[in-house]
Chains A and B, each alone.
Chain A
Amino acid sequence: MNIIPIKPARRASIAWPAEGLTRVPYALFQDEDVYADEQQAIFRGPNWSYLCLEAELPNPGDFRSTFVGDAPVVVTRDADGELYAFENRCAHRGAMVCLEDQGNAKDFSCVYHAWTYNLQGDLVGVAFKDGINGKGGMKPDFCLGDHGLRKLRVASLHGLVFGSFSDDVPPLDEYLGDAIVERIARVLEGRTPVVLGRFTQMLPNNWKLYFENVKDSYHASILHLFFTTFQLNRLSQRGGIIVDEGGGHHVSYSAVDHSATAKQQKPANDYAEQKIRSESEHHLEDTSVLAGIDEFDDGVTLQILSVFPGFVLQQIQNAIAVRQILPRGARQTELNWTYLGFDDDTPELREMRLRQANLVGPAGYVSMEDGCVGGFVQRGIDAASDANSVLEMGGDSAESSASRVTEASIRGFWKAYRNAMGY
Chain B
Amino acid sequence: MAQDVQQLIARAQAQYVRCIDDGDLAEWPDFFTPACVYKITTADNYRRGLPGAMIYAASRGMLVDRVASLRDANIYERHSYRHVLGQPFVLSDDGNEARSETSFMVARIMRDGSTDLFATGRYCDVYVRHADAVDEVKLRERIVVCDSSRIDTLLALPL
Question: Measuring CB to CB, which residues of chain A are less than 8 angstroms from any residue of chain B?
Answer: 101, 195-204, 223, 225-226, 229, 279, 282, 284-286, 288-289, 339, 350, 354-355, 357-358, 361-363, 365, 368-369, 371-373, 375
Question: Measuring CB to CB, which residues of chain B are less than 8 angstroms from any residue of chain A?
Answer: 40-42, 44-45, 50-59, 61-62, 64-66, 68-69, 72-77, 149-156
How far apart sit A324 and B73, CA to CA, in the bound complex (Å)? 27
Known contacts A288-B58, A369-B75, A363 near B156 by CB under 8 Å = yes
Contact across chains for B153 and A371 when beta carbons are under 8 A apart: yes
**Which 8 residue pairs of A and B lie closest in terms of their CB atoms, listed nearest first?**
A197-B52, A285-B61, A286-B61, A371-B154, A196-B52, A363-B155, A362-B151, A225-B73
B58 contacts across to A, CB distance below 8 A: 286, 288, 355
Known contacts A197-B53, A363-B40, A369-B75, A202 near B150 by CB under 8 Å = yes
B72 contacts across to A, CB distance below 8 A: 225, 279, 282
How far apart sit A225 and B80, CA to CA, in the bound complex (Å)? 22
Contact across chains for A199 and B154 when beta carbons are under 8 A apart: no
How far apart sit A363 and B144, CA to CA, in the bound complex (Å)? 14
Q: Closest approach, in angstroms, between the C-beta of A291 and any C-beta of chain B?
A: 11
Show 10 residue pairs from A and B whose CB-CB distance is below 8 angstroms, ordered by the A residue. A198-B52, A199-B52, A199-B151, A200-B150, A200-B151, A226-B69, A350-B51, A357-B52, A372-B154, A375-B153
Contact across chains for B50 and A198 when beta carbons are under 8 A apart: yes
Contact across chains for A368 and B74 when beta carbons are under 8 A apart: yes
How far apart sit A198 and B43, CA to CA, in the bound complex (Å)? 11
Which label, helix, strand, loop or mixed, suits the secondary structure of the A interface?
Answer: mixed
The total number of A-B Cβ pairs within 8 Å is: 121
Contact across chains for A286 and B65 when beta carbons are under 8 A apart: yes
How far apart sit A372 and B108, CA to CA, in the bound complex (Å)? 15
B59 contacts across to A, CB distance below 8 A: 285-286, 288
B74 contacts across to A, CB distance below 8 A: 225-226, 365, 368-369
Q: Closest approach, in angstroms, between the C-beta of A81 and any C-beta of chain B?
A: 24
Q: Closest approach, in angstroms, between the C-beta of B38 and any C-beta of chain A?
A: 11
Q: Closest approach, in angstroms, between the C-beta of A315 and any C-beta of chain B?
A: 16
A361 contacts across to B, CB distance below 8 A: 54
Contact across chains for A362 and B69 when beta carbons are under 8 A apart: no
Q: Closest approach, in angstroms, between the C-beta of B118 and any C-beta of chain A?
A: 11
How far apart sit A143 and B61, CA to CA, in the bound complex (Å)? 67
Known contacts A197-B50, A226-B69, A357-B52, A368 near B149 by CB under 8 Å = no
Look across to chain B and name the residue whose beta carbon is closest to the beta carbon of A336.
B149
Contact across chains for A368 and B56 when beta carbons are under 8 A apart: no
Known contacts A202-B151, A286-B61, A368-B154, A362 near B54 by CB under 8 Å = yes
How far apart sit A285 and B45, CA to CA, in the bound complex (Å)? 28
How far apart sit A196 and B53, CA to CA, in the bound complex (Å)? 8
Contact across chains for A372 and B52 when beta carbons are under 8 A apart: no
Q: Closest approach, in angstroms, between the C-beta of A210 and any C-beta of chain B?
A: 12
Q: Closest approach, in angstroms, between the C-beta of B89 and any C-beta of chain A?
A: 26
Contact across chains for A284 and B65 when beta carbons are under 8 A apart: yes
Look across to chain A and name the residue whose beta carbon is closest to the beta carbon of B54.
A363
How far apart sit A229 and B149, CA to CA, in the bound complex (Å)? 31
